[in-house]
Amino acid sequence: MPAPAFPTESSTLQLDGPVGALELAVDLGDAPRRPAVAIVCHPLPTEGGSMHNKVVTMAARALRELGLDTVRFNFRGVGNSAGSFDDGDGESDDLRAVAAWVRAQRPDAALWLAGFSFGAYVSLRLAAELQPAVLVSIAPPVGRSWEFAAIVPPTCPWLVLQGDADEIVDPQKVADWTARLPEPPELVRMPDTGHFFHRKLMDLRGAIKHGVRAFLPAPAAAAGTAHGPG
């Protein structure tokens, strides 16, 4: 099927993915909108993760409040996305397809990547390849089933947010892993915060907005005035 156009209002749509349809939710940033689109990846499908996960939707909300358009999508086998769980390999192909669509439809916009838990692993795994302008990793599952040692870390600005009371991901393993990297990311350790950010979602929203604010592109309207008289 032909690729859908990037919508002019918040909507859901289907994209032709590697193994069939991928279900996407596109939401436009608050005014003043900025020339950037953030793709936000969801947690583990086999544990109920989807693009409607509350950490994913809060992360997307935080970025929209800064003026970015956001794209959430269901990995293969989740919701109305075709296929079945592929332990990160097929899901990486899904993200490639979504990123290619965003870049084709919005060549004016910088690509940002974000992900929560398993979604943080998938987005980080592809960061060196996709070269996002900014990467946001929420509770990356270091020390679990996926190999982090072989991942090539991104060269872009990179924010990692980790709860210090995470019952799924060992916070110290995340801290040790980031500290060993040649160019460590900015690590924000959130006290008394579990993996799913229960009662801490507003704190997460604030931490994301504070952590990426310095990397925001100028609003589109302001950028356009640079060529005007004066």
Q: What is the pLDDT of residue 15?
A: 98
Task: Flag whether the pTM goes above 0.85.
Answer: yes
Asked if pLDDT for residue 224 goes beyond 60, the answer is no
Strand pairing partners for 113? 39, 135
For 11-214, give the CATH class: alpha beta
Residue ranges of domains in the chain: 11-214
CB environment 171-193: b (16+ within 10 A), e (fewer):
bebbbebbeeeeeebebbebeeb
Average model confidence (pLDDT) across the chain: 94
Q: Helix (H, G, I), strand (E, B), or coil: what is residue 66?
A: coil
Q: In one letter, which amino acid is 141?
A: P
Between 39-43, 186-190, 208-212, 225-229, the lowest mean confidence (pLDDT) is in: 225-229
Q: So what's the pLDDT on residue 170?
A: 97
* % of the chain beyond a pLDDT of 70: 96
- The pLDDT assigned to 141 comes to 97
Residues 6+ apart with CB under 8 A from 118: 41, 42, 43, 44, 45, 49, 88, 91, 141, 146
In the DSSP assignment, the letter for residue 40 is: E
